[in-house]
Amino acid sequence: MSHSPVKIWFNKSGLSNYAVIESIKASAQAGEEFYFIGSHSRGDFALRAICDKFVVEPDGLKGDEYVEWCLQFAIENGVQVFFPDRGVEGITAARERFAAAGVHLMVPTDSATLDIIDHKGRQYDFIGPEAANIPDYRIVSNLAEFDRACAELKERHSRICFKPAVSIFGAGFRYITEDGSAVSRLMNGNNIAVSMEEARFILGQEDSFRDLMVMEYLPGPEYSVDCLAVKGKVVQGVCRVKVADRVQELPDKPEALAAAARLAERFGFDGIFNAQFRNKDGVLYLLEVNARMSGGLYVTFHSGLSLPYWAVRLAVGSADAQDVPAPKTGVRVGQMHRSVTLPD
């Protein structure tokens, strides 16, 4: 192993990368050194507390200008591994330029596939029923289409739900209910249930809206599978499931791992990705695939396996796929808030 530090950069992203960096540091073996660079539009972003170097990204850069800034920043700072979040599509489109500069992009697919994955309808169409169990769904963009989709789905399913076709972290998800009132839901903090009347009133405010996925509601537990793949083959994966408020378990769920492996092969993933499934009548249905590290990846570190650590080692050639150890299962994980002191 090289004794010179591997320089790893995380650009503007969420707070979950704090735990990612912690996990890489904790997994480091004798003789391994890592140097962490963080950047963000805010100078007081908490990630700076764990980085060896932290910079404020310049204002006003968009599209190709931001990609050029990232490339030059990576070159000037000797970055070897880059975990992009902001501007990931444009950065991925310039993958060859980053590679020519010696920078490994930690994005598991190309920009065209990212575009497919970004839209849940296109994602389902690309995957097809051969690779995954796909829920019954419709894509709508106006009230008339919404009404028609709801009528068709209600003929076959006891409950339906909807969410934006392009969104992250469950933003915009609602299920339709006729139980209770809007006032009771407001007072009780239930922000994911909505009546048909409320949904129609909101969606009817505009002649058209961005694509909305209307689908059958899957009532069973949700399994989130975080995987590390190499050339379309899953090396290791960790499955997690919510069992209580802010409590998750890491079960031995081979059917979920097998389902994720089929998706890795379908997309040809090379790196870390996430797949989410929900159980209905004993069958796992796909909710969505994410070609990135999930926001809940930090939970999987309690398996004893840091997928980002091994992804870095595979990228720089200091490990092979067979070196990646299997995770522990049967672990129960409690989640909590935390805070850090920011350096001057």
Provide the pairing of β-strand 222-230 with 271-280. Answer: antiparallel
Confidence (pLDDT) at 168? 82
pLDDT tens across 176-187, in order? 998 888 888 888
- Residue showing tokens 């129609």: 200
Confidence (pLDDT) at 1? 43
Confidence (pLDDT) at 344? 80
Rounded to the nearest angstrom, the gap between the alpha carbon of residue 9 and the centroid of all alpha carbons in its chain is 18
Averaged pLDDT in 10-residue chunks for the chain of 344 residues: 83 93 96 96 96 96 97 98 97 98 98 96 95 97 98 96 90 91 85 93 96 95 97 98 96 97 98 96 95 96 98 97 98 93 89
| Distance, CA of 155 to CA of 38 (rounded, Å) | 51
| Distance, CA of 154 to CA of 121 (rounded, Å) | 19
Confidence (pLDDT) at 2? 47
Q: How far is CA 25 from CA 266, 308, 310, 312, in A?
A: 32, 11, 12, 12
Confidence (pLDDT) at 189? 81
Maximum Cα–Cα distance for the chain, whole Å?
Answer: 64
CATH fold for domain 6-107: Rossmann fold (3.40.50)
Q: Which residues pair with 194 in a beta bridge?
A: 176
Domain boundaries of the chain, sorted by first residue: 6-107, 114-119+220-334, 136-216
Confidence (pLDDT) at 101? 98
pTM of the predicted structure, to 2 decimals: 0.94
CATH number of the domain at 136-216, out of 3.30.1490, 3.10.450, 1.10.3470, 3.40.50?
A: 3.30.1490
pLDDT tens across 106-164, in order? 999 999 999 999 999 999 999 999 999 999 999 999 999 999 999 999 999 999 999 99
| Distance, CA of 267 to CA of 104 (rounded, Å) | 19
Give a three-class secondary structure readout of the chain. CCCCCEEEEECCCCCHHHHHHHHHHHHCCCCCCEEEEEEECCCCCHHHHCCCEEEECCCCCCHHHHHHHHHHHHHHCCCCEEECCCCHHHHHHCHHHHHHCCCEECCCCCHHHHHHHHCHHHHHHHHHHHHCCCCCEEEECCHHHHHHHHHHHHCCCCCEEEEECCCCCCCCCEEECCCCCHHHHHHCCCCCEECHHHHHHHHCCCCCCCCEEEEECCCCCEEEEEEEEECCEEEEEEEEEEEECCEEEECCCHHHHHHHHHHHHHHCCCEEEEEEEEEECCEEEEEEEECCCCCCHHHHHHHCCCHHHHHHHHHHCCCCHHHCCCCCCCEEEECCCCCCCCCC
CATH fold for domain 114-119+220-334: D-amino Acid Aminotransferase; Chain A, domain 1 (3.30.470)
Query: Does residue 176 contact residue 159 with C-beta atoms inside 8 Å?
Result: yes
Which among 271, 267, 269, 260 has a CA at the least distance from the CA of 312?
271
Q: How many CA atoms does the CB half-sphere of 342 hold within 13 Å?
A: 9
33: CB partners within 8 A, 6+ apart: 3, 4, 5, 6
| Distance, CA of 269 to CA of 253 (rounded, Å) | 21
Query: Does residue 134 contact residue 119 with C-beta atoms inside 8 Å?
Result: no
Do the domains 136-216 and 6-107 match in fold? no
